[in-house]
């Protein structure tokens, strides 16, 4: 944590003085807050006690990231990715979101996913339009649907049926379109 510059500390003191707390509590000074921000070393259970020098804490390896509930898991094998990247996969159906508002685009996507799953399609082409160029000024006048599609798919009622989402090959729209690879329905035994 960085220390406050003198002018920042003076400004912070003015902010603290202008605030009326909801309940009466003692107000800490900036120095007391900075001191309390540095945590005291916590002894590691089972670690040998050494006088003088304290060994650095052990950091456990992070657990592999699991997707949140509703998010599609990347379940494509390398051959699928190669075929999609080369444009060798032909989508069975297409959903075009050009000219729609955010709410009508969401409804159209939901309906398109439902229809594709009912037909047993494996690859759906979602045409969103090209994303804004990196040099364009914010806020972007375009690209709102493209930016929202990932969240929509993750929160969709069909999220468990989506195997992967990839950028389309140039013959299918390139950066203005996405492949949505759908899982095959599980056979009931």
For 103-123, write each residue's pLDDT tens digit. Answer: 888 899 999 999 999 998 889
Tokens of 82: 């190669």
CA dist 30 and 187 (Å) reads: 64
Secondary structure element (H or E) that encloses residue 126, with its range: strand 123-127
**How many other C-beta atoms are found inside a 10 Å radius of the C-beta of residue 75?**
11
For residues 164-170, give the mean pLDDT: 84
Q: Tell me: pLDDT of 177 over 80.
A: yes
pLDDT at res. 70: 41
Residue-wise pLDDT for 43-95, tens only, equals: 666 655 656 565 555 555 554 444 444 444 456 677 777 887 777 788 888 89
pLDDT at res. 72: 44
Residue-wise pLDDT for 141-153, tens only, equals: 567 888 888 888 8
Three-state DSSP at 17 gives: helix
pTM: 0.55
Tokens of 88: 């060798």
Q: Tell me: pLDDT of 137 over 80.
A: no
pLDDT at res. 128: 86
Looking at per-residue pLDDT, the higher value among 14 and 57 belongs to 14
Looking at per-residue pLDDT, the higher value among 137 and 17 belongs to 17
The position carrying tokens 């902010």 is 15
- How many CA atoms lie within 13 Å of 22's alpha carbon, on the beta-carbon side? 0
- Angstrom CA distances, 34 to 17, 37, 39, 45, stand at 18, 5, 10, 28
Show the domains of the chain with their CATH numbers: 6-37 (no CATH), 78-182 (3.30.1370.110)
């Amino acid at each position: 944590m960085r220390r406050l510059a003198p002018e920042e500390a003076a400004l912070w003191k003015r902010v603290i003085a202008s605030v009326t707390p909801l309940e009466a509590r003692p107000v800490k000074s900036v120095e007391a807050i900075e001191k309390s921000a540095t945590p005291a070393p916590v002894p590691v259970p089972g670690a040998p006690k050494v006088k003088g020098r304290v060994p650095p804490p052990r950091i456990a390896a992070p657990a592999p990231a699991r997707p949140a509930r509703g998010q599609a898991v990347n379940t494509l094998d390398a051959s699928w990715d190669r075929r999609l990247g080369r444009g060798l996969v032909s989508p069975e159906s297409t959903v075009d979101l050009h000219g729609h508002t955010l709410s009508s685009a969401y409804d159209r996507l939901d309906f398109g996913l439902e229809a594709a799953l009912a037909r047993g399609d494996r690859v759906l082409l979602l045409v969103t339009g090209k994303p804004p160029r990196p040099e364009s000024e914010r806020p972007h006048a375009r690209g709102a649907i493209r930016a929202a599609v990932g969240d929509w798919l993750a929160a969709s009622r069909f999220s468990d049926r989506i195997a992967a989402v990839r950028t389309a090959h140039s013959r299918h729209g390139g950066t203005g379109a996405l492949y949505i690879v759908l899982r095959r329905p599980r056979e009931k035994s």
